[in-house]
Amino acid sequence: MTNRNDPPTEANEPTTYQIRIKGQLDERWSDWFDGLTIIPEPCGDSSIEGVVADQAALHGLLRKIRDLGLPLISVLRVVVPPVKRGECRDE
């Protein structure tokens, strides 16, 4: 399903994702999840965030989550607006 507000992306280009799971996941699991950032949320859930190489890599991450028996809450593609010519991005 396509959201008209999201720019189209190709399945083979790097994209930033936020994957939310139920339960606390220690930041030491970052290597297991291909170096993505693990953020424990105050509500008791965790976010796994970062740039994923392509759709195949995303499916690999979701498979790891499934294999660990972690309940999946959501998978969001994070759209970063492009930097306009002559502007700097503050990050």
The per-residue pLDDT string of the chain (91 residues; one tens digit each, 9 = 90 and over) reads: 445 555 555 667 789 999 999 999 988 999 999 999 999 998 899 999 999 999 999 999 999 999 999 999 999 999 877 666 665 555 4
* Domain 15-78 CATH class label: alpha beta
- Going across the sheet that includes 46-52, the strands are 37-40, 46-52, 15-21, 72-78
Structure tokens given for 26 = 């220690």
Which sequence spans correspond to the domains of the chain? 15-78
Work out the angle at residue 74's Cα, subtended by the Cα atoms of residues 70 and 77, and round it to the nearest 5 degrees.
Answer: 125
DSSP 13: S
Cβ atoms of 17 and 44 closer than 8 Å: no
